[in-house]
Amino acid sequence: MARRKPLVVVTRKLPDSVETRMRELFDARLNVEDIPMDSAALVEAVKVADVLVPTVTDRIDSALLSQAGENLRLIASFSNGIDHIDVASALARGITVTNTPAVLTEDTADLTMALILSVPRRLTEGAQILQNEQEEWQGWSPTWMLGRRIWGKRLGIIGMGRIGQAVARRAKAFGLQIHYHNRRPLPHATEESLEATYWDSLDQMIARMDIVSVNCPHTPATYHLLSARRLKLLKPDAYIVNTARGEVIDENALTRMLEAGEIAGAGLDVFEHEPAVSPKLVRLARQGKVVLLPHMGSATLEGRIDMGEKVIVNIKTFMDGHRPPDRVLPSML
């Protein structure tokens, strides 16, 4: 007798090619309308599914997992980050969790670099001037729209994993001096090729940087890593860029400092209470003090297809009785 195909519930719309392949391989319940699932829909999903495919917009907490049906054996997240899943609870219930690492690295590093350039060089401010119908551009002037030079400045990267290193490679080509803080220093050869300086003390590093880039995951240990106290250590002419997770920075404290002119600017792709974005930050963006992007660090078609491929391989391997390649292990939490 043919084996029943696993019931795979996917919470959001995925690229067409990924959905087509999922339909071929699995009994796939897709969300082609891309309407985010409310908690009732998620409860229904975990009750019936063999495999759940959530994304960063779904909260998979222990209360939800306590309602999971017996068939739910795998959560194959369509995401690199796993902070939306209570992984410890899932593992305790015997549910395997996988993610999609490595395929978002270059895209996220590109967007990080774009923000590193945009904020000091006032890119969005300049672009808006030509789009503003109320105002006519008066032409070039020696003292107008002056930003700050990138070349020769010090970039402090917080979190030197795959994405942090990809940012460092790009930043080096732009003449930035690379500094980093990480749980552990990089192997000597990697450090040497990036010409990167390791700082064991985050406090000491950020006090000396011109630009700080947040590239670490959000975990209990990194929640508000850039606390109000730490942010105060930044130089008044420093910029901060975050393409990792909003929760790593105390957003209220950062906003207060930007309003008070205590740091020069920020480029934020992620927010503490996503999808809500503080009106104060929006006001600062209108004043040209910050560049805000709607969590689009990894948003390329190629990246999303690669993520989908990873999800499919993880499900298929698991269903064939093997260890899926991208298992989230307790040591990663």
Residues that bind ligand DGY in the complex, under the rule CB under 6 A: 56, 79-81, 104, 297-298
- Nearest in space to 238 (alpha carbons), one of 208, 205, 201, 202: 208
The answer to whether residue 84 is catalytic is: no
Q: How far is CA 108 from CA 54, 81, 116, 204, in A?
A: 20, 12, 12, 26
Catalytic annotation, pick one of 122, 179, 181, 295: 295
- Dihedral-angle region of residue 321 (phi above 0 means left; psi in -120 to 50 means alpha; beta otherwise): left
Tokens of 155: 């970039």
One-letter identity of residue 215 = N
Cis peptide before 279 (omega within 30 of 0): no
Residue 243 or 289: which CB sits closer to ligand DGY? 243
Q: For the CB of residue 267, give the shortest distance to ligand DGY in the complex, in Å.
A: 16
Catalytic annotation, pick one of 245, 251, 272, 304: 245
- Nearest in space to 116 (alpha carbons), one of 268, 224, 234, 247: 268
Tokens of 323: 């260890």
Q: For the CB of residue 196, give the shortest distance to ligand DGY in the complex, in Å.
A: 24
Distance separating alpha carbons of residues 233 and 203, to the nearest angstrom:
7
Residue 196 or 222: which CB sits closer to ligand DGY? 222
Residue 35 or 102: which CB sits closer to ligand DGY? 102
The answer to whether residue 274 is catalytic is: yes
Q: For the CB of residue 261, give the shortest distance to ligand DGY in the complex, in Å.
A: 30
Q: For the CB of residue 115, give the shortest distance to ligand DGY in the complex, in Å.
A: 14
Q: For the CB of residue 14, give the shortest distance to ligand DGY in the complex, in Å.
A: 13
Catalytic annotation, pick one of 274, 283, 309, 327: 274
Residue 120 or 303: which CB sits closer to ligand DGY? 303
Taking CB positions, which residue lies at the least distance from ligand DGY? 81
* Long-range contact set of residues 13-17: C-beta below 8 Å, sequence gap at least 24: 14/78, 14/304, 14/308, 15/301, 15/304, 15/305, 15/308, 17/305, 17/308
Task: Answer yes or no: are the C-beta atoms of 249 and 214 closer than 8 Å.
Answer: yes
Q: For the CB of residue 147, give the shortest distance to ligand DGY in the complex, in Å.
A: 28
Q: How far is CA 22 from CA 36, 67, 69, 306, in A?
A: 19, 25, 22, 14
Residue 56 or 194: which CB sits closer to ligand DGY? 56
> How many degrees, rounded to 5, is the angle at CA 328 between CA 25 and CA 312?
15
- Nearest in space to 180 (alpha carbons), one of 197, 162, 161: 197
Residue 120 or 297: which CB sits closer to ligand DGY? 297
> At 155, is the secondary structure helix, strand, or coil?
strand
Active site amino acids = 245, 274, 295
